[in-house]
Amino acid sequence: MYTGLPPGPISTVREQSIVAAADPNETEYLYFYARYNGEIIYNEDYDKHLEARNTYRHEWEEATSQDEENEE
């Protein structure tokens, strides 16, 4: 046991995940950005990825600061 870690796996892999890894969809996307609301933004180039990150980064920063305030 390690402090801060659960005693066992957090979750198990679903069959769908194994199939997707073994036979992935063909795509041109190289980057993704996960918004705080759960939306995933996929991009083909790094500059567009950075644009998405810079556009939505504040969502994570605001949520994190609210979490820290609630812990106090």
The pLDDT tens digits for 44-58 are 999 999 999 999 999
Evaluate whether residue 13 is within a structural domain.
no
- Whole domain around residue 42: which residue ranges? 28-71
Evaluate whether residue 47 is within a structural domain.
yes
Question: ∠ CA 9-15-20 to the nearest 5 degrees?
Answer: 110
Evaluate whether residue 43 is within a structural domain.
yes
Evaluate whether residue 15 is within a structural domain.
no
Domain count, the chain: 1
Evaluate whether residue 16 is within a structural domain.
no
Q: Is the pLDDT of residue 12 over 90?
A: no
Evaluate whether residue 5 is within a structural domain.
no
Longest dimension (CA), the chain: 47
Render the burial of 45-69: b for 16+ CB within 10 Å, e for the rest.
Answer: eeeebeebeeebeeeeeeeeeeeee
CA distance 32 to 50: 10
pLDDT of residue 16: 93
